[in-house]
Structure formats: C-alpha cells, structure tokens
Amino acid sequence: MGRLMLTLYDAARCPYCARVRIVLAEKDIEFEAIEIDLSDRPAWIYEKNSTGRVPIVEEDAWLLPESAVIMEYLEERYPEPALLAADPADRALARLRIFRHDGFTKPYYALRRGEEGAAARFDEELTRLDAALAARPWLGGDAYGLADVAYAPWVFRARDMLTSRSSRTRPCRHGSTGCSRVRRWLRRQSSLPRYRFSRDVGD
C-alpha cells in the first residue's frame, strides 16, 4: 500500500501531540497539521474522537486517536527507520515503559497544579528514570526509540526542575550531580538531526 497524505489533528502545547510529531519527523512522513484550540474545541472534533482529545491521525478517512497507539501504528505502517529494537525482549521492555508512562505524568501534573507532596513524588520518578538510564543510553535499549519519545515531551518541559530543586535530601537538587543521566539523555535527543522539527517539545 502506498503512502497516503496523513492528517494530524494537533495542539502545539500538548505533549501527547508532541510525541506524534516526533515520530513523524523521525520517519520523515509528510503530513498536514490541523491545529485544535484546546480551550475552545470545535464541535466537529468529537466526530473524529468521541473524547474530543488530540492527537488524532487520519488517513483516507480512517481515524486513530491516542498517542501511544498512534506511535505503534506509525512504527508498523512506516517501519524505516525503526524506532523499536529488533530483539523481542527489548521491544517488550520498551512497550512496558510506555505502558507505565502514567506513573511519571501523574506526579508531573500534580506538581504543575501545586498539590502538596507532588514535588517529592515527581523527584522520585525522575530518580527512577535516571536509574533506568544507568544501564543503557536510551530508555528502550541501545538505540533511540519509541520509549524515549514517550517520555521526552514531559521531561523537556520539566528540565528546569532538574536544576532548581533546593532540598538537600532530593537527588535532583540544585548543584548536585543527581539526574545527570537524564540531562545527558535530553542533550542527546536535542542533537538528533530531525528533532528540531518536533516543534515546541521543550516549551
């Protein structure tokens, strides 16, 4: 089956949309972006996705919501360059990390809302992410892939937290070497050739 023009229903400030934009950029897939104002969603978006959420991709009137599912679809539909490892065990571990992504984002959003105790919970998640990067350079194994894409938009948005924590008991506190692997991981992603096309990922 040849390539059809893909439409992405997008929101520039949405990290879930950023995930999809990164995969599209890495795979050099041409697409048309339709911007959705999340503060004033058009009524017709609910015809595309009953929840009204973006991202949504559309190909020849075929619709698919949910960023994690879209990433997997794009990986299978456009297999080059591969963003999942060839080894089945590594692929499974990457999928497991994506599946557990909510464990990272829940304290992130709690911190954004200023909830009590959220800073400590988010520091714990950053520490876990840092520990995962101790064994391998990327979250999905030895090469950059979907697991890294799954977390990157949130970690880029939180990067100031990596150097602004003031508590002496937290591993990501200001002036420490804590979370240094996470910071290096972010720098490696920023240097990827196509990464600049995933606009607003770090804002």
| CATH number of the domain where residue 42 is located | 3.40.30.10
Q: Among the three residues 53, 77, 101, which one is the final residue of a domain in this structure?
A: 77
pLDDT the model gives residue 198: 53
pLDDT band at 1 (very low <50, low <70, confident <90, very high): very low
Q: Choose one of 32, 48, 77: the last residue of a domain.
A: 77
In this structure, the answer to whether residues 68 and 100 fall within a common structural domain is no
In this structure, the answer to whether residues 40 and 68 fall within a common structural domain is yes
Total domains in the fold of the chain: 2
What's the rounded mean pLDDT across residues 118-140? 91
* Residues 92 and 187 placed together within one structural domain of the fold: yes
Q: How far is CA 85 from the centre of its chain?
A: 18
Return the higher-pLDDT residue of 88 and 197: 88
Q: Torsions phi, psi of 3, nearest 5?
A: -75, 135
**Quick one: pLDDT at residue 163?**
52
Question: Are residue 174 and residue 108 in the same domain, yes or no?
Answer: yes
What stretch of H or E contains 105? helix 102-112
Question: What is the band of 157 on the pLDDT scale with cuts at 50, 70, 90?
Answer: confident
Calpha distance 137→182 (Å, rounded)? 10
- Residue 97 gets the label, from left (phi > 0), alpha (psi -120 to 50) or beta, of alpha
* Mean of per-residue pLDDT scores for the chain: 86
Mean pLDDT of 53-82: 96
Which comes out higher in pLDDT, residue 169 or 31?
A: 31
Residues 67 and 94 in one domain: no
The residue out of 34, 55, 77 marking a domain boundary is 77
Beta-bridged to residue 167, according to DSSP, are none
Whether residue 159 is predicted with pLDDT greater than 70 in this model: the reply is yes
Instruction: Verify that 65 and 116 share a domain, yes or no.
Output: no
Higher pLDDT, 3 or 125: 125
% of residues, the chain, pLDDT over 70? 84
Residue 3 DSSP class: P
- Residues 93-103 have a mean pLDDT of 95
- Assess whether pLDDT exceeds 60 at residue 196: no
Residues whose CB falls within 8 Å of the CB of residue 87, separated by 6 or more in sequence, listed in order: 141
Report the sign of the C-alpha dihedral through residues 134, 100, 196, 87, in that order.
positive
Instruction: Give residue 179's pLDDT.
Output: 84
Which residues have a Cβ under 8 Å from the Cβ of 17 and sit 6 or more positions away?
8, 10, 11, 54, 55, 67
Taking residue 74's Cβ as centre, other Cβ atoms within 10 Å add up to: 21
pLDDT at 3 > cutoff 70:
no
pTM: predicted TM-score of the whole model, two decimal places: 0.86
Q: Please tell me whether residues 33 and 116 are part of one structural domain.
A: no
Angle between helices 146-157 and 102-112 (to 10 degrees): 10
Query: Angle at the Cα of 121 (from 52 to 113), degrees rounded to 5?
Result: 45
Assess whether 72 and 96 both reside in one domain: no
pLDDT tens per residue, range 172-189: 543 334 688 998 999 898
Nearest alpha-carbon partner for 27 in 146, 191, 114:
146
Per-residue pLDDT averaged across 106-135, rounded? 92
